[in-house]
Amino acid sequence: MLTKRIIPCLDIKNGRTVKGVNFVDLRDAGDPVELAKQYADQGADELVFLDITATLEARATTLEMVLHVAEQVNIPFTVGGGISSVEHVDALLKNGADKVSVNSSAVKRPELVNELADKFGSQCVVVAIDAKKIDNDWFVHLAGGTIPTDIKLFEWAKEVEKRGAGEILFTSMNHDGTKNGFANEALAKLSDILNIPIIASGGAGNVQHFVDTFKEGKSDAALAASVFHFGEIPIPELKKELKKQDIVVRL
Amino acid sequence: MKLVIINYGAGNIKSIQFAFNRLGYEAILSNDPEEIKAADKVIFPGVGEASSAMKMLKESGLDTLIPTLKQPVLGICLGMQLMCLHTEEGDTEGLGIFQTKVKRFSNDVKVPQMGWNIIKELKSDLFKGIKENEYMYLVHSYYAEHCNETIAATDYEINYASALQHNNFYGTQFHPEKSGNEGAKILRNFINMKPLALS
């Protein structure tokens, strides 16, 4: 059976990992390659690198970093952050990224999703969606969740699937940073209305939250940052517990 | 040891090159028929969509060259699919090395299949040291139907051929280069394969 995936997310600035990372046995916690290798050894199924600088100068640095990660890491990884052109994606894939994720740029110019899917195949196009529940509706937000739009989450998700997205990375801004669990109701609805894999993001605080998002949220994968970086939830233990609760994982 | 990765379009083939580097082998990227013929081992990666990939192969004459190769050839993902008789993707005729057809998963499951799944019923030296039910990384919307050349099986909606072998030709639907240390073992096994005996 296809397993549920556990995906650590690393924020990258100028080619270096940011946010405190608290691995005791790391020589250099800011080195994305070393961190990535560590996560691969722990049993992470994939990795996501989110470039939070995304200035033009930083772009070259990120490309360099992608090349080094591809050289040394033997599990798949996605690169996101500030990607808005076919050329940029081409460079990232040529440097060894397996997938790219696009977010605000796809909202501003939805044809980008078609262009990427046509040229590189849907399998490497992840559309990241940040959304917030306001009254009873989920609205898409841009630029790391800072700019609200009147675009509705489920309509937008449907549209990007039709345009060729291979996967959706959904972050609930109501849950992100709370450590109170994932947005399982919205995630389950996404899984019901779409036929592509859904990655849950935002809200991971304990092991049960992962169990819940795979069961109630019908998520195909779960992404988290701080609970992994600070060693609050070691991946091997997380996977053992998931297995105990009848969730198919790679051990 | 001269390893050549057939380079016939855009996409991520760096990963394959790096995976061989990690095993201590240099692999060069080439679409030059002479260079490919002279290689000890040939890797035929999967890139993008089937009909346009096939078109690119034809433009460089590689469609006629590949089936005549005598050294071990490893097709990965779409590479493996193009080595079959036919694929539903773009209604494309394949190279006809493997006597099977490639179909699309139905919409009863999420498509593409993306992630780690089990390979079982392992039947080739390609899997020496790999245990039954090992996890490999797969990303695909189309699958090869079983045939006599099946050397590994995987379940996703149905039971299908996740690896194929015909003489010196090997194909894996999964990505050994992205399947952790176990995937690396498969690449090492491939490097140890002998060419088809010349009579």
Cα three-residue angle B159-A99-B16, rounded to 5 degrees: 75
**Neighbouring residues of A115: CB distance < 8 A, sequence distance ≥ 6:** A86
**Neighbouring residues of B96: CB distance < 8 A, sequence distance ≥ 6:** B67, B84, B85
In this structure, what DSSP letter does residue A124 have?
A: G
CA dihedral A87, A91, A93, A95 (to 10 degrees): 180
Number of Cβ pairs < 8 A linking chain A and chain B: 98
Instruction: Tell me the β-bridge partners of A213.
Output: none
Q: Please give the pLDDT value at position B10.
A: 55
B140 a catalytic residue: no
Per CB-CB distance under 8 Å, the chain A contacts of B180 are: 40, 74-75
Kindly tell me if the per-residue pLDDT of B179 is higher than 80. yes
Kindly determine whether residue B112 and residue A119, on different chains, have CB atoms separated by under 8 Å. no
Give CA separation, B14 vs A110, A142, A166, B106, in Å.
29, 32, 21, 31
Kindly tell me if the per-residue pLDDT of A230 is higher than 90. no
Does A250 contact chain B (CB < 8 Å)?
Answer: yes
The answer to whether the beta carbons of residues A150 and A131 sit under 8 Å apart is no
Per CB-CB distance under 8 Å, the chain B contacts of A94 are: 10, 12, 14
Kindly determine whether residue A3 and residue B115, on different chains, have CB atoms separated by under 8 Å. yes
Kindly tell me if the per-residue pLDDT of A29 is higher than 90. no
Kindly tell me if the per-residue pLDDT of A24 is higher than 60. no
The two three-digit tokens of residue A125, written as one number = 């196009």
Chain B residue with CA closest to A250: the answer is: B135
Answer whether residue A249 is part of any domain: no
Does A5 contact chain B (CB < 8 Å)?
Answer: yes
Kindly determine whether residue B11 and residue A70, on different chains, have CB atoms separated by under 8 Å. no
The distance from CA A20 to its chain's CA centroid, rounded to whole angstroms, is 19
List the single residue in A5, A74, A196 with the smallest CB-CB distance to B19: A74
Mean pLDDT of A187-212: 97
Kindly tell me if the per-residue pLDDT of A131 is higher than 90. yes
ipTM above 0.90, yes or no: yes
Domain enclosing residue A35, as ranges: 5-244
Mean pLDDT of A52-81: 88
d(CA B122, CA B132): 7
Give CA separation, A161 vs A155, A166, B54, B158, in Å.
10, 7, 26, 24
Q: Please give the pLDDT value at position A30.
A: 79
**Secondary structure (3-state) at B118:** strand
pLDDT in tens, B16-59: 999 999 999 999 999 999 999 999 999 999 867 888 889 999 99
Looking at domain B3-191, which CATH architecture does it have?
3-Layer(aba) Sandwich (3.40)
Mean pLDDT of B65-93: 96
Does A93 contact chain B (CB < 8 Å)?
Answer: yes
The strand pair at B27-30 and B73-76 is best described as unpaired
Kindly tell me if the per-residue pLDDT of B60 is higher than 50. yes
Percent of chain A scoring above 70 in pLDDT: 94
pLDDT in tens, A31-46: 889 899 999 999 999 9
Q: Between residues B62 and A21, which one has the greater pLDDT?
A: B62
Q: Please give the pLDDT value at position A143.
A: 83
Q: Given A11, A31, A51, A220, which residue is catalytic? A: A11
d(CA A162, CA B44): 30
- Write down the H helix ranges in B60-138: 62-65, 78-82
For A53-62, A230-239, B95-104, which range has the lowest pLDDT when averaged over its residues?
A: A53-62
Per CB-CB distance under 8 Å, the chain B contacts of A195 are: 107, 110-111
Residue in B5, B7, B14 to test binding to A, most A beta-carbons within 10 Å: B14
**Secondary structure (3-state) at B55:** helix
Kindly tell me if the per-residue pLDDT of A28 is higher than 90. no
d(CA A217, CA B112): 19
The distance from CA A97 to its chain's CA centroid, rounded to whole angstroms, is 14
Kindly determine whether residue B112 and residue A70, on different chains, have CB atoms separated by under 8 Å. no
pLDDT grade, residue A173 (50/70/90)? very high
Kindly determine whether residue B114 and residue A94, on different chains, have CB atoms separated by under 8 Å. no
Kindly tell me if the per-residue pLDDT of A54 is higher than 80. no
A130 a catalytic residue: yes
Cα three-residue angle A94-A100-A102, rounded to 5 degrees: 135
Residue type, B73: V
Mean pLDDT of B76-94: 96
Mean pLDDT of B87-114: 96
Answer whether residue A251 is part of any domain: no
Q: Calculate how close chain B gets to A43, using CA atoms only, in Å.
A: 9
pLDDT grade, residue A64 (50/70/90)? very high
Round the average pLDDT of chain B to a whole number and report it.
Answer: 94
**Secondary structure (3-state) at A57:** helix
Residue in B56, B105, B116 to test binding to A, most A beta-carbons within 10 Å: B116
Kindly tell me if the per-residue pLDDT of B199 is higher than 50. no
Give CA separation, B168 vs A20, B73, B75, B115, B125, in Å.
50, 6, 11, 28, 12
Kindly determine whether residue B180 and residue A124, on different chains, have CB atoms separated by under 8 Å. no
The two three-digit tokens of residue A37, written as one number = 């290798």
3-class secondary structure per residue, A128-173: EEEEEEECCEEEEEECCCCEEEEEEHHHHHHHHHHHCCCEEEEEEC
pLDDT grade, residue A26 (50/70/90)? low
Looking up residue A141, the CATH number of its domain turns out to be 3.20.20.70
Per CB-CB distance under 8 Å, the chain A contacts of B137 are: 75-76
pLDDT in tens, B127-160: 999 999 999 999 999 999 999 999 999 999 999 9
Cα dihedral sign for A211, A216, A221, A223?
negative
- Write down the H helix ranges in A43-131: 56-72, 86-94, 104-108, 111-120
The distance from CA A19 to its chain's CA centroid, rounded to whole angstroms, is 16
Domain coordinates in residue numbering, chain B: 3-191
Residue A228: count of CB within 10 angstroms of its CB: 26
d(CA B180, CA B185): 9
Kindly tell me if the per-residue pLDDT of A23 is higher than 60. no
Total domains in the fold of chain A: 1
Q: Please give the pLDDT value at position A238.
A: 98
d(CA A103, CA A208): 28
Sequential DSSP letters for A2-43: PPPEEEEEEEEETTEE-S----TT-S-TT-HHHHHHHHHHHT
Mean pLDDT of A93-104: 94
Q: Please give the pLDDT value at position A58.
A: 73
